[in-house]
Structures are given as C-alpha cells and as structure tokens.
Chain A
C-alpha cells in the first residue's frame, strides 16, 4: 500500500485481488444483496484511492481497509434507513421458518441452521458485525482489536457476549416455534 501511496497505482490491483473475496463476503452477510455488495466494494476501493495519502503505514493495510469498509457499511445502513437494533420480536419468525418435512431427523440440522441465521439477523448490528468479522477467513482477533481500538481481551469478551446473545435469541425462537 505504501507503494500505492507513493504513486504506483497499479499495485492497488494486487490489493484488490487479495482482498475482494473477504470484503464481498463481509458486505453480503451484512446487507444480503449481491449487487449491492459489489457496489460497496467498489466504493471501498474508490475511497482507498482517494484517501491514499491518509494511510500512514504505521498499522497494517488490512486494518485500514476494514476501517473504510465498516464506514461504507454503516453509511449503507443509514441510507437504508435502519441502523438495526436488536429486536425481541420472535413471534413472527415462525412464519418465516418454513418446514416441509417437519418430522424427519435430517432436518434437525436444517432447523438449527435456520434458527441460527434468523437469530443472527435479529441481533444488534454491532454484535452481528463483530461475529461476522470474527468468522472471516484470515481475520485475527488482534486485527479486530486494532480496528476497534480495544484490547484483544476485550474483543474476546465482546465475542463471548455476542455468542451468549445469539444463543438466547435462538432459544427464544425455538420456544416460540415449538408452540
């Protein structure tokens, strides 16, 4: 990236090749729309180009890039008109969990997965974002700690809390569903 900053713009292409997957995966999980995710990635690289002089090189490029990516993601949420905060509305979810072969065992994993993903969507944006980042290939807790400006221990604690919350929501969904 330092080369890019100094004028060797073609190197940005290399950075794109290295990181586009992880960015797309992140945006897709947060915003669910494929075309939009691509726009957001393009937006990230546009900002990287524009503000390349602001990259000071005292941290890693990956963290700087994710800083920009998070901003782009948050801007999109604002645009959509919803910074999502946790919803406790579990009652309506049973309609969304459609079960065709409700009695066969093989669906137990399916049910669990569905519950998991529905519960994930019900979470605070921040918590969800943290969990998603922690699952991105090649992203380490240390990098997340640099990104958020907290200690690595704090990151783990937050992940712990997010997981507890996730479990709670899954149980609520489960209870309601079984009804």
Chain B
C-alpha cells in the first residue's frame, strides 16, 4: 500500500494489489485517492417526462388489448357453435351417423367382438377427423383453414396431423393460420420430431410476427439448435431492424 501511495508501484505489485481487492483483503474504500475520485463522480438524476410516462402506459394497455383477443381456446368453443352450420362439419356429422349406424348394426349381429369394434370405431373416428382436418387445411377460405388447425390442436399426437400442422406453419398464405398452427404445435414440442420440424421451419418464415413467435417459443423450450437457425435466418434474409433486435434479444435469453 505504501508503495502505491508513493506512486512507485511496479507491475507485480499492481497485480498483487488487484488480487487483494479481488479477495476482499483490501477494500476499494481503503485506497483513499481512488475512493475520493469515485465519490466525486456525480450523476445527474433524471425524471420521466409526462410523455415518457404516458408512452409506457400506452404500451401496457396495447399489450393488454392484444392479450384479450380470441385465442385457440375461444376458437375451440366457437367451433362447437359451428357444428351445425359449416359444410365440412355437416360432412363429419353425416359420416358419424353412418358410423354409428354401422356400429348399431354390429351390435345386433351375433358376434362377440364388442370391444374390438368399439376401439376400431374410435380409431376410425379419429382417422376421419384427421382426414377432414387435412381437407380443411386445403380450403381456399382462411377461416376454414383456421378451423382445421383447431381440429388438429384437439387431435394432437398423430404423426399425420403433426405433419399437416407443420406444413401449414411453413406454407400457409395467411399469417393468422400460421400463428394458430404454431400454437397448436406448442404442446407437442417436447416430441423431438416436432422440435426438429419447428427448428427447420425457422428458415421458411418471412413474416415478422411468426419469426418473433417462433423465437419466443424457442426461449420457452430453451432449444439451442434454434440459435444456429435463427442466426442463419438473420444473415440471409432481409429483416427489419426491430424484428432483428427482437430475435437477438430472444437468442440471448437462450443460454
């Protein structure tokens, strides 16, 4: 310390001094001149202007509005309402009636394969729904496609369904349909194939909303593979600076 005070401090002593500080042997306050210097740095305290305050509160209320917009669960309930009106559902309805009729027929027939028939019927019903879903996803109307995604969300862990959802995520024209597909896939993201599909999907995405939602999902999943894909995306595509910043921010949150 005395050497330091006399100003005549060599390199090793400097390093020793730093080590003492690091280990807490010497506190910064003990080094008087530096401590005084540190104390004399004054920062001008700033207060928020009314504009800033109102700007931030506006951000909050905008986000609140976004949050209250219809989401998949609401779409599910409105799906129930559509049960009797939409054409595709009429189709599903009539097929179901046919199947039920067939089932009753089997009941009457003198065979002992009751349980087998029931489960194969269930399987057929699911198959039917999957087929309907896939046909709806090819419909020219975006709202029909959206309903299709909803069915997919309900059907879930079927490879065909997942594949269809991923294709929708990658290739559907309509941003809202793509976002719904992403939402529908999220619960199954623990499945490694779904994961892979999502990560590969990154490079196909042009819409900033989908890019950001994907990035956010990756943060929730803490998927490191996504980081590489996103970086490539940033480098190869023309992205708006705000979105780029958003993606990079998310990437930073993936440790």
A residues apposed to B, CB below 8 Å: 7, 9-10, 12-13, 16, 20-21, 24-25, 28-29, 34, 37-38, 41-42, 45-47, 49-51, 53-54, 68, 71, 75, 112-113, 116, 120, 131-132, 134-137, 151, 153-154, 156-157, 159-161, 163-164, 166-167
Is B63 an interface residue, CB under 8 A from the partner? yes
Partner of A28, one of B28, B46, B60, B253: B46
Query: Which residue on A lies nearest to B216, using beta carbons?
Result: A53
* B60 pairs with A20, CB closer than 8 A: no
Given A21-B47, A116-B37, 17 more contacts at CB 8 Å?
A10-B64, A12-B60, A16-B53, A16-B57, A24-B46, A28-B46, A38-B49, A41-B48, A42-B55, A42-B56, A47-B246, A50-B212, A131-B38, A156-B21, A159-B38, A160-B31, A163-B37
Is B12 an interface residue, CB under 8 A from the partner? no
Partner of B46, one of A34, A46, A53: A34
* A159 pairs with B55, CB closer than 8 A: no
Closest Cβ of chain B to A4, distance in Å, is 9
* B253 pairs with A54, CB closer than 8 A: yes
* B60 pairs with A10, CB closer than 8 A: yes
Is B219 an interface residue, CB under 8 A from the partner? yes
* B43 pairs with A29, CB closer than 8 A: yes
Query: Which residue on B lies nearest to A120, using beta carbons?
Result: B41
Query: Which residue on A lies nearest to B46, using beta carbons?
Result: A24
Given A34-B46, A71-B252, A163-B34, also A113-B40 (CB < 8 A): yes
* A9 pairs with B64, CB closer than 8 A: yes
Is B139 an interface residue, CB under 8 A from the partner? no
Is B228 an interface residue, CB under 8 A from the partner? no
* A54 pairs with B46, CB closer than 8 A: no
- Residues of A contacting B24 in the complex (Cβ-Cβ under 8 angstroms): 153, 156
* B44 pairs with A25, CB closer than 8 A: yes
**By the criterion of a CB under 8 Å from any partner CB, how many residues of chain B are at the interface?**
44
A-B contact pairs, 19 of them (CB 8 A): A9-B67, A13-B57, A21-B46, A28-B46, A38-B48, A38-B49, A38-B55, A42-B55, A42-B59, A50-B246, A116-B37, A153-B21, A153-B23, A159-B28, A160-B17, A160-B28, A163-B28, A163-B34, A163-B37
Distance of A13 Cα from B61 Cα, bound (Å): 10
Closest Cβ of chain B to A153, distance in Å, is 4
Is B8 an interface residue, CB under 8 A from the partner? no
B residues apposed to A, CB below 8 Å: 17-18, 21-24, 27-28, 31, 33-34, 37-38, 40-49, 51-53, 55-57, 59-60, 63-64, 67, 212, 216, 219-220, 245-246, 249-250, 252-253
- Residues of B contacting A7 in the complex (Cβ-Cβ under 8 angstroms): 67
* A157 pairs with B22, CB closer than 8 A: yes
Distance of A137 Cα from B60 Cα, bound (Å): 26
Partner of A45, one of B31, B59, B212: B59
Query: Which residue on A lies nearest to B252, using beta carbons?
Result: A71
- Residues of A contacting B31 in the complex (Cβ-Cβ under 8 angstroms): 160
Distance of A153 Cα from B25 Cα, bound (Å): 10
Given A25-B43, A41-B52, A153-B22, also A51-B219 (CB < 8 A): yes
* A167 pairs with B34, CB closer than 8 A: yes
